[in-house]
Structure 1
Amino acid sequence: MLVWLAEWLTQFEPSFNVFSYLTMRSILSILTALLISLYFGPKLIRYLQRMQIGQTVRDDGPESHFSKSGTPTMGGLLILAAIVASSVLWADLSNKYVLVTLFVVISYGVIGFVDDYRKVIRKDSKGLIARWKYFWQSAIAITVAAYLFFTAQQPEETALVVPFFKDVLPQLGALYLLVAYFTIVGTSNAVNLTDGLDGLAIVPTVMVAGALAIFAYMTGNANFSEYLNIPYIPQTSELVIVCTAIIGAGLGFLWFNTYPAQVFMGDVGSLALGATLGVIAVLVRQELVLFIMGGVFVMETISVILQVGSYKLRGQRIFRMAPIHHHYELKGWPEPRVIVRFWIISLMLVLVGLATLKIR
């Protein structure tokens, strides 16, 4: 929005042209989202406390979590508001990739909001019925995938980038729909499963968003994409603004979510953030790299799948508790140790993902 205003003001004062630069707008996007989160965070927490919108803790969970019962939740509203506001202010709203991403942010946020609302306000411990949650996640993901597939204007937009291989760029054709669907829905649920400890999900999300910002910038730049031998997709560089908004909003939320947390993001935050990372990876054609960089999310998801599968097939559990961060808690690791070690693993995996830009 402010991009258009700056363009108009440039005819009167050339110095306003500075706001057309992507790097400047990226910095302003981070700062805007960060300041929104820091300013409105305490207000939201007080409101949630006053309305008694608190977290319900599982009876079979680690005993150390019982003290978390009643901690304000649905703090993801703060994250999403900061992301959307910052993106609207500093991104080019005529860019279809920005609009698609904001649609995913808001629509998955609505799904998470309904789920949280039923759990913490209506006191329905089940929240949104699982099949309906999955149905709406799927409907939105399929709609987005179909739109991107049928509006693609060049082959690179539907090709699969294989990390570490220079000349491997297979055309997916209709399989693009399947890849995009599983990337969006899978990442959404993976981040949701990871969000079980204070700050555990938000920091890897910020790291991955930062890396995707780099991928988006390189993919949307003809010179860099040719040099790095990655697909050149015009206008994807504008996604940098959304990625930096995620970084700012995430860091602002971490101010209140760090151990011991004053607020939890809830499904309204985790489902939306995961889906957003997924759709950005689809747009810049880095689904497989997202699988690497989001390794912590993948590990958490696989631990749940293995746990459920093993119990149903053999009647035995592999882990003391799933997702796997609870397993380490029950082994005696203090919560901060689990959190920081998972952060370190995330940083390492993000660096590996970034290395794929050059190692091919």
Structure 2
Amino acid sequence: MQQIIISGAVAFLVSIFLTPLLIRYFTNRQLGQEIREEGLQSHLRKRGTPTMGGIAIIAGITVAYVVTNLIAMAQGVGNFTVSGLLVLGLTLGLGATGFADDFIKLYMNRNLGLNKTAKLVSQLAIALIFGLLVLRFPDESGITPASTHLSFIRDIDTIDLAFGGSIIGIIIFLIFIYVVVSAWSNAVNITDGLDGLAAGSTAFVMGAYTIVTFWQFRNSCATEVAAGCYTVRDPLDISVLCAAGLGATLGFLWWNAAPAKIFMGDTGSLALGGLVAGLSVVTRTELLMVIIGSLFVIEVASVAIQIFSFKTRGKRVFKMAPIHHHFEAVGWAETTVVVRFWLIAVMGVLGGMAVFYSDWLRLAEV
């Protein structure tokens, strides 16, 4: 527990004190967000607001994770783990993709940043590397950071995506990992459209997974094989990383809440999406994450529905997509949309936590 508290506190402090430095840097160089003319007119006032604040989030997560593990090593109570490093690597990799996109927009005066092909290739390469590595590095019990089984609250033994390790099965597994990584990174990216919306919603998810992973640590099959125990590698270190994500997003939210002094940009949203995706894989909870991160699912689903409806019927379901812009377009104030969407995020988190805990109770009582 001490490691989790240290990680969250360090991440919060790094993020909350680094963010104003970024605000000052980008403001002095007159590097700010461009707002599309065809978008909501109320957003035009945000033109010129500094972006790339995700640098502070990534720095907070990285510094907190490293510092916490160095302290744990000095005390002889912990160390860096493969699971934690792989998820951090996925986060940094997608963050680098977002950084390149933001950099091109700001410094090379290209409104669209990276083209779709470059983003697709980058996400594909990062996902494939992550997918290959998470099936390696077994611990003394033979547990790897991830398994080839589809997972809900724990592995579903009857659904092996790799079909016992065949070449075709491994390809299917890697495709699955790519879908997970690209879906979550794009979902968080799409959600990042209003002041504080993505940062606050991600903080709720990180808080939930801090509890989930710590619970997995306290009830690990590696410690004691008991009813309801979890076969997860390195749950405590993953909990440290979740706490870092929580602290970093809260620290950034201090400056990103309405009226935002800075935006996280693709640097932050893609990195946080990668963190969400990686956590779902190494904790064996890919399907549970759909419940806990239900707000992100709703946001990306609204875009898919809008595109499908327009291309098939020539009509739009929403006034604007993603859905948070629809509610702005019908007259809701931005802060009203954000707070109500936070409430939806909280309900998803509480629902997911209830399912997670009820599963443990059911098995523990057997």
State TM-score, norm by structure 1: 0.88
- State the match for 1:171 in structure 2: 160
- State the match for 1:49 in structure 2: 27
| Matched-pair contact (CA < 8 Å) for 1:206–1:250 | yes
- State the match for 2:87 in structure 1: 101
Give the fraction of aligned pairs with identical amino acids, expressed as a percent.
39
Q: Distance in 1 between matches of 2:94 and 2:53?
A: 15
- State the match for 1:277 in structure 2: 276
- State the match for 2:165 in structure 1: none
Residue among 121, 124, 127 paired with 1:138: 124
Over the aligned positions, Cα root-mean-square deviation in angstroms equals: 2.1
- State the match for 1:39 in structure 2: 17
1:78 to 2:56 alignment: yes
- State the match for 2:194 in structure 1: 197
| Matched-pair contact (CA < 8 Å) for 1:210–1:244 | yes
SS at match of 2:151: coil
Q: Unpaired runs of 5+ in structure 1?
A: 1-22
Task: Map Cα deviations across residues 310-333 of structure 1 (whole Å, 9 max, x no partner).
Answer: 112222111100001000000000
Q: Distance in 2 between matches of 1:130 and 1:71?
A: 25
Task: Map Cα deviations across residues 210-251 of structure 1 (whole Å, 9 max, x no partner).
Answer: 112222223344269966735322322211111101111111
What pairs with 1:303-314 in structure 2 (closer than 5 Å)?
A: 303-314=302-313
Q: Distance in 1 between matches of 2:96 and 2:8?
A: 24
Q: Distance in 2 between matches of 1:166 and 1:83?
A: 28
- Which runs of structure 1 show a deviation greater than 6 angstroms over 4 or more consecutive aligned residues? 165-168
Task: Map Cα deviations across residues 80-100 of structure 1 (whole Å, 9 max, x no partner).
Answer: 011101111113553101111
Shift, 1:358, TM fit: 2.8
- State the match for 2:212 in structure 1: 215
| Matched-pair contact (CA < 8 Å) for 1:111–1:268 | yes
SS at match of 1:53: coil
- State the match for 1:180 in structure 2: 177
Q: Which moved more, 1:166-175 or 1:131-140?
A: 166-175
Shift, 1:66, TM fit: 0.5
- State the match for 2:356 in structure 1: 357
Q: 1:166 to 1:139 in 2, by over 3 A?
A: closer
SS at match of 1:160: strand
- Which AA in structure 2 matches 1:117? F
Task: Map Cα deviations across residues 21-66 of structure 1 (whole Å, 9 max, x no partner).
Answer: xx11111111111111222222111011011120111111111101
What pairs with 1:211-360 in structure 2 (closer than 5 Å)?
A: 211-220=208-217, 221-222=219-220, 229=228, 231-360=230-359
- Which AA in structure 1 matches 2:238? L
Q: Distance in 2 between matches of 1:211 and 1:176?
A: 26
| Matched-pair contact (CA < 8 Å) for 1:212–1:281 | no
| Matched-pair contact (CA < 8 Å) for 1:180–1:279 | no
Q: Distance in 1 between matches of 2:147 and 2:236?
A: 14
| Matched-pair contact (CA < 8 Å) for 1:226–1:232 | no
1:161 to 2:151 alignment: yes
Q: Distance in 2 between matches of 1:154 and 1:105?
A: 22
Q: Distance in 1 between matches of 2:297 and 2:241?
A: 23
| Matched-pair contact (CA < 8 Å) for 2:49–2:263 | yes
- State the match for 1:12 in structure 2: none
Shift, 1:265, TM fit: 0.2
Q: Distance in 2 between matches of 1:135 and 1:193?
A: 19
| Matched-pair contact (CA < 8 Å) for 1:72–1:263 | yes
| Matched-pair contact (CA < 8 Å) for 1:162–1:168 | no
State TM-score, norm by structure 2: 0.87
Q: 1:171 to 1:348 in 2, by over 3 A?
A: same
- State the match for 1:123 in structure 2: 109
| Matched-pair contact (CA < 8 Å) for 2:220–2:229 | no
- Which AA in structure 1 matches 2:294? G
Q: Distance in 1 between matches of 2:280 and 2:343?
A: 22
How many residue pairs were aligned?
337
| Matched-pair contact (CA < 8 Å) for 1:191–1:201 | yes
